[in-house]
Amino acid sequence: MFRACTGRLLTLLSGLLLAAGASIAADSVTNSAQQGLRTENVVLIVPDGVRWQEVFTGAEKALLNDKEGGSWLDEKTLLENFWRDDVADRRRLLFPFLWGTVAQQGQLFGNKAAGSSAQVTNGVAFSYPGYNELVAGIGDPRIDSNEFGPNPNLTVFEWLNGQPDLRGRVAVYATWGTFGDIFNRERSGLHIQAGVRPKTGKLTPRDELLNELYATTTLLDANDLYNSFTQAAMLDYVKEAQPRVLFVGYGETDSWAHSGRYDLVLTAARQVDRFVEQLWNTMQSMPQYRGKTTFIVTTDHGRGSGPVDWKEHGMDSPGSEDIWIAVIGPDTPALGERRDIPPVTQAQVAATIAAFLGRDFRKAQPQAAAPLPDVLAPAPHAGRSQRP
Ligand SMILES: [Zn+2]
């Protein structure tokens, strides 16, 4: 009886949808396909506290030394590793994937010198408020400390995980233990691997090695794992569980800046670019992701400038509100480095993630900012377009 009714209802619904010009997939209607979008998976990747200056102009020469940059490498090696006279060569040397692939196939917001501003709206420009703004879509003045505790706001990750077709397919991998609070582990029920959390249960030899390294590695910050550990665990999870919505948080860039080591900031930033490329290539080799995956790469806050202030961020370091946002995927027109456009904000990222999956986050979180402009353009040749 129940099955028969369900069958008749489905037939009726199919008829209605077909009449409206849409078509229905054999097993389920995907919201994005209904809207002519090809994205079925979204990955938000956030290296902590990477300045727009490095993204758009590469290494800063005044900091490639021991005195201002705190480098342990000699200046000749620093220049070889990170300096080119031409700005396009220099930024590509630091971020080869961003400039070699994302800028060719996607978009980059936030080059202030080219008339593209991307800013945080939380007014404080440090980590927890920034991550909250990214994933909840609102700058929340209540969140005034990294030790704030469990996030009262609904994040787009928690919301998506509550939808039947995405339940259990939303995950968080990050170096910083505080993401357990930012994504409200208790309430959200998300799969969160953040900070030093040795794996339990059935362990592969690779898991056992990682657990041993968790226990024996001297960390710069006990609450912040090194990026390479998170990368290894995250790639294993992607291959095994194939999440459809994934957050990846990398921490070293901020920690090395606070430590006054510009050489290590640059080294970590370049390695993050390689990690992003590695994840992109891994996903493109898997049927679940190939041609159906959008990456958004951004940062939680900027930093100050000048010979000292590059190390810090927040209210006392002007410029910390300036960020950058990169987007690449099958629904994003290849507009490259954006120039002379209206400002965008960090708060727009949350609704953008949902929009790529054909959903409106602002139905659940009315205060969330609108999706980023111009990054979603349903392809006229997409398989199930509603467009004529
Ligand atoms: Zn910081």
Mean local confidence (pLDDT), 240-252: 98
Distance (angstroms) between ligand 1 centre and the Cα of 311 equals 9
Portion of the chain with pLDDT greater than 90, in percent: 87
Q: Which DSSP category does 221 fall into?
A: B
Distance (angstroms) between ligand 1 centre and the Cα of 32 equals 36
Q: Which residues pair with 194 in a beta bridge?
A: 174
Asked whether residue 326 carries a pLDDT value surpassing 90, the answer given is: yes
Q: For the chain, where are the alpha helices, taking DSSP H only?
A: 2-19, 31-34, 52-57, 75-82, 87-94, 96-97, 103-105, 127-136, 156-161, 179-182, 185-188, 205-216, 227-241, 252-258, 262-284, 306-309, 348-356
> Which residues crowd ion ligand 1, with CB under 5 Å?
254
Report how far residue 193's alpha carbon sits from residue 175's, in angstroms, rounded to the nearest whole number.
8
Distance (angstroms) between ligand 1 centre and the Cα of 125 equals 9
The per-residue pLDDT for 388 is: 36
Residues 90/59, Cβ–Cβ less than 8 Å: yes
The per-residue pLDDT for 19 is: 42
The per-residue pLDDT for 138 is: 98
Residues 303/257, Cβ–Cβ less than 8 Å: yes
The per-residue pLDDT for 379 is: 56
Distance (angstroms) between ligand 1 centre and the Cα of 258 equals 7
Q: What is the pLDDT of residues 85-138, one digit of tens each?
A: 999 999 999 999 999 999 999 999 999 999 999 999 999 999 999 999 999 999
Distance (angstroms) between ligand 1 centre and the Cα of 38 equals 36
The per-residue pLDDT for 33 is: 77
The per-residue pLDDT for 29 is: 44
pLDDT band at 34 (very low <50, low <70, confident <90, very high): confident
In this prediction the pTM is: 0.90
The per-residue pLDDT for 341 is: 98
Distance (angstroms) between ligand 1 centre and the Cα of 97 equals 24
CA dist 45 to 59, 76, 101, Å?
Answer: 21, 32, 16
Report how far residue 312's alpha carbon sits from residue 318's, in angstroms, rounded to the nearest whole number.
10
192 backbone dihedrals φ, ψ, rounded to 5°: -125, 120
Q: What is the pLDDT of residues 48-78, one digit of tens each?
A: 999 999 999 999 999 999 999 999 999 999 9
Residue with tokens 């979180």: 365
Distance (angstroms) between ligand 1 centre and the Cα of 49 equals 6
The per-residue pLDDT for 25 is: 38
3-class DSSP state of 188: helix
Amino acid identity at 227: N
Asked whether residue 22 carries a pLDDT value surpassing 80, the answer given is: no
